Amino acid sequence: MFVELRREKTVEATGAIPGRLYIDGKFFAYTLENDLKKIPCGFFKLYDRLSPKFGKHKVHVEVPGRQYIMFHGGNVPEDSGGCILIAANRLNESKIQGNQSDALYSVIKDAWTRGENITFVVYNPFILLAAIAAAGGLYLLTKK
């Protein structure tokens, strides 16, 4: 299973980072992060853990040097202490609603039960495209 968080442009006025979560290339939910507490871009391991705060199992993200980073419900960037907020609806670039963390847990848990490998990646497609364009531009400049 391939789970990807595609971040969008940060909303400077609110510090919100809107995004979309895809599972195997299909849209699953909207996300929202706090720019000051976001996890870095990259590949991460997902694991199951009982959340003391929420009293139920959540999908957690193994982020080096940090603990208790998980997918959970929330509406605005201030609802995140570094976690990824996940919801069914986006009201605007800085507000979401309709907690989808239990639905995500169910999908991921089923994959774990089947013994599937799960790859989770976080990236900003705009930065990735700019990097590819820059690399292509560099190639054109150096091609003989």
pLDDT tens readout for residues 5-53:
999 999 999 999 999 999 999 999 999 999 999 999 999 999 999 998 8
pLDDT tens readout for residues 38-92:
999 999 999 999 998 889 999 999 999 999 999 999 999 999 999 999 999 999 9
Structure confidence at residue 53 (pLDDT): 87
Range of the domain at 36: 2-142
pTM greater than 0.95 (yes/no) = no
- Total structural domains within the chain: 1
Do 67 and 81 meet the contact criterion of CB atoms below 8 Å apart?
A: no
Q: Is 93 exposed, middle or buried (0-12, 13-18, 19+ CB in 10 A)?
A: middle
What is the identity of the amino acid at 140?
L
Mean pLDDT of the chain: 90
